[in-house]
Amino acid sequence: MSSWKTTAAAALVLTALTARHLAAQTDELRVLASNGVKAALEELVTAGEHATGHRLAIRFNSSTALNAIIEGGDPFDVVLVTSDLMDELVKGGRVKEGSRVAIAQAGIGVGVRTGAPKPDITSPEALKRALLQARAVTYAQDGASRVHVERMFERLGITSAMTPKTILEQGSIRSTARVAAGDAELVLTLISEILPIKGIELVGPLPAAFQHYVAFSVAVGTHARQPDAATALIQVLTSTLARDTLKAKGLDPPAAVAKGAGQKPLHLYVMDCGVLTPTTEAVERYHVTLAEVGETRMSVPCFLVVHPRGTLLWDLGVIPDEDVGAQPGGARSNVNPTVAAFVPRTLSSQLAQIGYGPPDITYFAISHAHIDHSANMNAFAGSTWLARAAEREFMWADGNTRVRPAFYSMLRNRAPLLINTDEYDVFGDGNVVIKSAPGHTPGHQVLVLNLAGTGRVMLSGDLYHYPQERALHRPPPDNEANVQQSAASRQVIEEYLRRTGTALWIEHDFAANTKLRKSPAYYD
Ligand SMILES: [Zn+2]
């Protein structure tokens, strides 16, 4: 009896082991990735495997070679390639619609053998001299930077001098190896392909006049075997942890070159996304009386932040543009039985008026997902979404009547750039910072701007609705996702405002909003 038990138990263990082994093989997540992100991605494997519960099987190659692999029908779950190649994959239906996320960008640099003298390449003239003096140079014949390197030779008037001493290699890994081996003195390729290679050192980036950034994006394969795990991996790759790893490997945060990039200083446009009319009952929910507030209506602004490194849309209205555009004279709808909304014109028409369309939007974020802040999220599904995990969960929570998931259906399978820190510095210079202020919703946040002329401004989200709540120190409404957390956030934010000398703009404050300068005028 006991021996039978032992045998049966052993058989069970064996079956389990075999099953697990098989699962490991069929469950592995197949990733195709550019050489340009190799060093960073290799460091993120553990985090990726941990988050997805799958082994990552990654194949690295040049964009051209990866394109051939994909065209040849090789299956994959996740693809991380240059944005140019991703455009092709999207057109060809090779990746899941809406799953694409910009992840990083890398500039082109020059590398030498470790220990070799580093030539001056800080100006076009100096770089020209260094290139002409080099015995041999190398770059990848199929690399993303080749076209920019050759265009630079042309502009410097040295194409005929460079051609006979250029070693073209398949892929940046072979090119950099030629420099490490001493066959060529200089390698020209993405900085992210120079930094991680043993035996070579970065001299520096190309001078600004010739610099070109190659952008990388990641997406889920159309025929992904593990779409959920693929999405989870993308979340890891767009997390703040990944951002630090990418940066250490020469990959900067994505920054779609916004209109006027590098020329305009920080700008803030205030757009009219409508007005809310609450009933008396709805007003009193904020622990203020009709007499105290006087004006019961609430403004619904949307904001466009234009930064030299990109753009950020903040809060996205109460009625989707499709519905507003279809109603001459504006659209009406009820947020709930106690709050009516009216939107006179579309957000897209206001953006178009100042020359912006969805492709010009680098990032979008909402203070929170309530109906009056999220209506137009679908329109910007192609931009990078900055969000907190708690809010994302809240957005699709069963039975949540405070949100309308149809407003952001296209984001369901899209990985946001997940913010997991109290403050998130959007463009890396401290002038546009998203700050956590939970309670109204689980992932509620506010936006802090440091404008050169206007000064420091905080866009409140729904930290308060009426200015009297703040002035009269009234407790948060009873229907907050978490009243205590909301009260604590108010305290933290008030202290922050005092300490930093920041003005609070209460987004729903109708009277204050009336006085704000509206787009096409702006704050700078
Ligand atoms: Zn609101």
Tell me, letter by letter, the H, E, C secondary structure of 363-407.
Answer: EEECCCCCHHHHCCHHHHCCCEEEECHHHHHHHCCCCCCCCCHHH
Give the pLDDT confidence score for residue 93 in this predicted structure. Answer: 92
Distance 511 CA to ligand 1 centre (A): 16
Distance 491 CA to ligand 1 centre (A): 19
Residues constituting the chain: 524
Q: What is the pLDDT of residues 205-215, one digit of tens each?
A: 998 778 788 88
What residues does 489 pair with on adjacent strands? Answer: none
Distance 374 CA to ligand 1 centre (A): 10
**Domain extents for the chain?**
2-103+216-248, 108-205, 267-515
Q: What is the pLDDT of residues 281-307, one digit of tens each?
A: 999 999 999 999 999 999 999 999 999
Q: Which CATH architecture group holds 108-205?
A: 3-Layer(aba) Sandwich (3.40)
Task: For 267-515, give the CATH class.
Answer: alpha beta
Q: Give the three-state DSSP class for 311.
A: strand
What are the φ and ψ backbone dihedral angles of 407, each rounded to 5 degrees? Answer: -65, -20
How far is Cα of residue 29 from the mean position of the Cα atoms in its chain?
A: 23
Distance 414 CA to ligand 1 centre (A): 24
Q: What is the pLDDT of residues 443-492, one digit of tens each?
A: 999 999 999 999 999 999 999 999 999 999 999 999 999 999 999 999 99
Distance 469 CA to ligand 1 centre (A): 14
In this structure, the dihedral spanned by the alpha carbons of residues 356, 362, 367 and 368, taken in order and rounded to 10 degrees, is 100
Distance 99 CA to ligand 1 centre (A): 28
Q: Please, what sign has the CA dihedral across residues 239, 241, 246, 247? A: positive
| Cβ(360)–Cβ(372) below 8 Å | no
Distance 301 CA to ligand 1 centre (A): 10
The Cα-based distances of 21 to 10, 25, 228, 248, 263 in angstroms read: 16, 7, 21, 35, 57
Q: What tokens does 364 get?
A: 């979008």
Distance 260 CA to ligand 1 centre (A): 31
Distance 524 CA to ligand 1 centre (A): 25
CATH number of this structure's domain 2-103+216-248? 3.40.190.10
Query: 108-205 with 267-515: one CATH topology?
Result: no
Q: What is the pLDDT of residues 411-449, one digit of tens each?
A: 998 778 889 899 999 988 899 999 999 999 999 999 999
Distance 170 CA to ligand 1 centre (A): 55
DSSP tag of 517? -
Report the side by side order of strands in the sheet with 384-387. 331-336, 339-343, 267-278, 298-307, 310-314, 363-365, 384-387, 417-418
Distance 316 CA to ligand 1 centre (A): 11
Q: What tokens does 154 get?
A: 């042309």
| Cβ(159)–Cβ(153) below 8 Å | yes
Interhelix angle 240-248/227-237, nearest 10 degrees: 60
Distance 315 CA to ligand 1 centre (A): 9
Report how far residue 144's alpha carbon sits from residue 63's, in angstroms, rounded to the nearest whole number. 7
Give the pLDDT confidence score for residue 413 in this predicted structure. Answer: 84
Mean pLDDT, each 10-residue run in order, the chain (524 residues) = 43 45 67 92 93 93 89 93 88 88 90 95 91 96 86 90 94 92 95 91 88 87 92 88 86 60 76 98 96 97 93 97 90 95 96 89 96 97 91 96 96 85 91 97 98 95 98 96 98 97 97 96 93
Distance 370 CA to ligand 1 centre (A): 6
Give the pLDDT confidence score for residue 262 in this predicted structure. Answer: 44
Distance 235 CA to ligand 1 centre (A): 27
